[in-house]
Structure 1
Amino acid sequence: MPDNVLWIITDDQPRSTLRSMDSTWRRLAGKGVHFRQGYSAMPLCGPARASMLTSLYPHNHGCDTNMTHQPFVAQRRDRDTVATRLQAAGYDTGYFGKYMNGLAQDPTYVAPGWDRWVALLDGMIDDPRVSVDGEIRRVEGQRAFDRFAARRLRRFIRRRQDSGPWFAVFSPTAPHGPYTPSPQHADDFDAVEWDPPASNEADMSDKPTWLRDLPPQDRRRMRRIYEGKLEELQDVDDQVAKVLDVLRDTGQLGRTWIFFVSDNGYLLGEHRLFHKSQPYEESAGVPFVVRGPGVEPRAVDALVSQVDLMPTTLDLAGLDPDAGRDLDGRSMLGPLTSGDWSGWRRRLAVENTHLDWVLVREGSHVYVEHQGAGEWELYDLARDPHQLRSLQDADVSEWSRKARQLFGSRGLAMRALEQ
């Protein structure tokens, strides 16, 4: 029988915060592969989630704003996702958590491919609505919704301990603001400090023109938000532990693959920026962990993307990931089980089609092209991990050529350009 698959997708989680989640760190990262160089396809919630579900970059799925649900459905992208393919292959499927912004305008919608549907409709208010298989309910706030979704996920897992394989997504709203951790964790990080090297970067002369005159961010506010994220992540960590306990107690842990990622990272004053969407490591980078049967625990530097989730999951199910259409991502299954990443991609793409920038990561270098403005940045992360000094004297003609090729391609052609 094929193995079960669980995706856990947090919301706005900086890559650096993974270590603060004790159970997740010990029981997932410590028991699986921790990717130190995991990336968002596009560091914005809705487009990133569309990329995970379809294994298409935004320049191929066409959804580049945070109101993603309507264009995603209008283009019939919801008709061919990881869920529709696994359901057709006989998997029980369940979605539990935040889906895409815009779902509130279509509240009775249930995405194709999901046997069980517990999705947040209004995530930015104190009294969010929830769709349970198209029936509307209310819960008391985002953290209450996360607990509600996690309980439904655990019930889904228990009920399938003696049945065929299943695929589920748990997508909590945390650590997205407003920051309302549970009373149990509300004071866990009251004294935490926040002063990263790139905070309110003093010399911005190497940055694109539009960034150079940005005012500094309020350090106290950035510290408070960092504290809120860490405290909310403790609630997520508790839910992860409970899910792992259920998998263990029902005898399913040894036959379940678990993928832990976030939709995007988050800037908290680095380069004077706040929020996401921008082409810097704090925003484009995401936590990325895979635990599964036969996987030897290790940390690796392989370049992995959210678009790799779908092909890896289909491969686990014994399906051809490219059946019907070429996927932009590639299956990690072989390297995950062998430990040999020597044949993996050499370069990786990240983009923001709405803000008109593209990023190419290769070796220790990161090249960013701001296409509308005709400006570029190039960093050597081995020498400058905080991206404080762009290599302005470099010849970037070859980098620019690679960027144009990658972001004009899809599927097999795009994957060939990554080698």
Structure 2
Amino acid sequence: MADNVLWIITDDQMRSTLRTMDRTWRRLVRKGVHLRRGYCAMPLCGPARASILTSRYPHNHGCDTNMTHPPFVAQGHDRDTVATRIRAAGYDTGYFGKYMNGLAQQPTYVGPGWDRWVALLDGMIDDPRVNVDGTVRQVPSQRAFDRFAAKRLRRFIRRHQDTGPWFAVFAPTAPHGPATPSPEHAHDFDGVAWDPPASNEADMSDKPSWLRDLPPQDRDRMRRVYEGKLEELQDVDDQVAGVLDVLRRTGQLRRTWIFFVSDNGYLLGEHRLFHKSQPYEESAGIPFAVRGPGVEPRTVDALVSQVDLMPTALDIAGLDPDAGRDLDGRSMLEPLRSGDWSGWRRRLLVENTNLDWSMLRTGSSAYIEHHDTAEWELYDLERDPHQLTSLRDADVTEFARTTGQLFSAQGRALRALEQ
């Protein structure tokens, strides 16, 4: 029987917080491949989710604001996704969680290719609506929705104990603010410290002009947001453990690939910034881990992206990822199995087509180009992991050329530029 595939996609989770999820760390990360240099395609929820589902960078799918669902459907992107392709290979499919901002404009919409559909309509936090297979329902709160979605995912898994392979997505709303952890975890991190080296960076002269006069963030507020995120992630940890329990009890764990990522990271005062969308490690970097059949536990520094999820899932299903349309991402399946990443990409693009910047990651370098102001930044992340000092005297001609090429490429041509 073919292997199952499960994607777990959290919301606004920084890389650094993965280690605080004890059971996820022990049972998923440490039993699989921990990819320490995972990145989003664009550090904003909706565009990132569009990239995950299609393996297209934002400059190729054209959905660059958080009101993503309407343009995604209008351009027909929903008719060629990981779901439509993997279902054609005989997989049963299920989506459980947050989908895309703007879904409430089509409250009874069910994405093509999904057999089971439990998706949050982006309503008010105190009055969230849920689309269950095309029928609108109500749940008491957004966090209650995460439990609601996880329960239906577990049911989906149990029902497939003796049937063909399945592909599912679990996308909790946590740790997106405002923080509303369960009573069980509401005080787990009371008073936790938060003072990263780049917090309210003192010397901003190396940053682009619009950043230099930003006021400092309120450190106590940043600490409280951090505390809330950690506590909400304990609820996600419970939900992940519950899913792993069901997989084990039903005999499916050994034939299920599990991918754990976030839609984007988050800035909590680093470089005086709060939120996401910006080209710094805290925002563009995401947790990234994979557990699967025959995968030896290891930590890997390969440059991986959300756009790699779809081709990897299709490869697991025995499909040619480029059949019909070239994908921007590449399959991780062979290096995940062999442990040999020597033939993997050497360059990786991250972008924000709304704020008009691109970032090139290669080796230890992070080159950031701000197209609208013709400004740039260059960091050596080995020597300066917190991006405190841009190398202003460097020759960036080659970085700029490669970034421009990637920013206008797609499919096989884009992947060729990464080598």
| TM-score bin, normalised by smaller chain | over 0.9
Letter in 1 for 2:299: A
SS at match of 1:56: coil
Q: Any conservation in 1 of the 2:117–2:132 contact (CA below 8 Å)?
A: yes
CA deviations on 1:343-396 (whole Å, 9 max, x unpaired) are 000010000000000000000000000000100000000000000000000011
Matches within 5 A, 1:53-132: 53-132=53-132
* Corresponding residue number in structure 1 for 2:366: 366
Q: Any conservation in 2 of the 1:181–1:228 contact (CA below 8 Å)?
A: yes
Alpha-carbon distance, 1:122 to partner: 2.2
* Corresponding residue number in structure 2 for 1:43: 43
Alpha-carbon distance, 1:319 to partner: 0.1
* Corresponding residue number in structure 1 for 2:283: 283
Alpha-carbon distance, 1:221 to partner: 0.2
Alpha-carbon distance, 1:124 to partner: 4.3
CA–CA distance in structure 2, aligned partners of residues 170 and 404 of structure 1: 35
Alpha-carbon distance, 1:178 to partner: 1.2
Matches within 5 A, 1:241-280: 241-280=241-280
* Corresponding residue number in structure 1 for 2:4: 4
* Corresponding residue number in structure 1 for 2:14: 14
Instruction: Tell me: CA distance 1:185–1:122, structure 2 relative to 1, closer, same or farther (3 Å).
Output: same
Q: Any conservation in 2 of the 1:326–1:412 contact (CA below 8 Å)?
A: yes
CA–CA distance in structure 2, aligned partners of residues 417 and 117 of structure 1: 37
Letter in 1 for 2:358: V
CA–CA distance in structure 1, aligned partners of residues 380 and 352 of structure 2: 21
CA–CA distance in structure 2, aligned partners of residues 36 and 380 of structure 1: 16
CA–CA distance in structure 1, aligned partners of residues 34 and 293 of structure 2: 15
* Corresponding residue number in structure 1 for 2:314: 314
* Corresponding residue number in structure 1 for 2:294: 294
CA–CA distance in structure 1, aligned partners of residues 413 and 331 of structure 2: 15
Q: Any conservation in 2 of the 1:123–1:173 contact (CA below 8 Å)?
A: no
Matches within 5 A, 1:144-293: 144-293=144-293
Q: Give unmatched runs, 5+ long, in structure 1.
A: none
Letter in 2 for 1:366: A
* Corresponding residue number in structure 2 for 1:401: 401
Letter in 2 for 1:261: V
* Corresponding residue number in structure 1 for 2:391: 391
CA–CA distance in structure 1, aligned partners of residues 224 and 122 of structure 2: 24
Letter in 2 for 1:133: D
CA–CA distance in structure 2, aligned partners of residues 108 and 356 of structure 1: 34
Paired residues, what number?
419
Alpha-carbon distance, 1:282 to partner: 0.1
SS at match of 1:34: strand
CA–CA distance in structure 2, aligned partners of residues 140 and 18 of structure 1: 28
CA–CA distance in structure 2, aligned partners of residues 173 and 140 of structure 1: 14
Letter in 1 for 2:378: L
Alpha-carbon distance, 1:123 to partner: 4.8
Alpha-carbon distance, 1:89 to partner: 1.1
SS at match of 1:245: helix
* Corresponding residue number in structure 2 for 1:23: 23
Letter in 1 for 2:130: V
Letter in 2 for 1:155: R
Q: Any conservation in 1 of the 2:255–2:293 contact (CA below 8 Å)?
A: yes
Give the TM-score normalised by the residue count of structure 2: 1.00
Alpha-carbon distance, 1:2 to partner: 1.2
Matches within 5 A, 1:349-364: 349-364=349-364
SS at match of 2:344: coil
Letter in 1 for 2:336: L
Q: Any conservation in 2 of the 1:94–1:117 contact (CA below 8 Å)?
A: yes
CA–CA distance in structure 1, aligned partners of residues 122 and 136 of structure 2: 11
CA–CA distance in structure 2, aligned partners of residues 126 and 301 of structure 1: 41
Q: Any conservation in 1 of the 2:158–2:250 contact (CA below 8 Å)?
A: yes
SS at match of 2:147: helix
Q: Any conservation in 1 of the 2:31–2:291 contact (CA below 8 Å)?
A: yes
Alpha-carbon distance, 1:177 to partner: 0.7
CA–CA distance in structure 2, aligned partners of residues 73 and 309 of structure 1: 21
Q: Any conservation in 1 of the 2:104–2:123 contact (CA below 8 Å)?
A: no
Q: Any conservation in 2 of the 1:312–1:332 contact (CA below 8 Å)?
A: yes
Q: Any conservation in 2 of the 1:369–1:400 contact (CA below 8 Å)?
A: yes
**CA RMSD, 1 decimal:** 0.5
Identity %: 83
SS at match of 1:302: strand
Alpha-carbon distance, 1:6 to partner: 0.2
CA–CA distance in structure 1, aligned partners of residues 85 and 241 of structure 2: 29
Alpha-carbon distance, 1:300 to partner: 0.5
CA–CA distance in structure 1, aligned partners of residues 280 and 124 of structure 2: 26
* Corresponding residue number in structure 1 for 2:334: 334
Q: Any conservation in 2 of the 1:15–1:282 contact (CA below 8 Å)?
A: yes
Q: Any conservation in 2 of the 1:255–1:292 contact (CA below 8 Å)?
A: yes
Letter in 2 for 1:353: T
CA–CA distance in structure 2, aligned partners of residues 67 and 246 of structure 1: 35
Letter in 2 for 1:179: A
Letter in 2 for 1:195: D
CA–CA distance in structure 2, aligned partners of residues 327 and 157 of structure 1: 28
CA–CA distance in structure 1, aligned partners of residues 337 and 98 of structure 2: 30
Alpha-carbon distance, 1:95 to partner: 0.2
Q: Any conservation in 1 of the 2:43–2:265 contact (CA below 8 Å)?
A: yes
CA deviations on 1:313-332 (whole Å, 9 max, x unpaired) are 00000000000010000000
SS at match of 1:66: coil
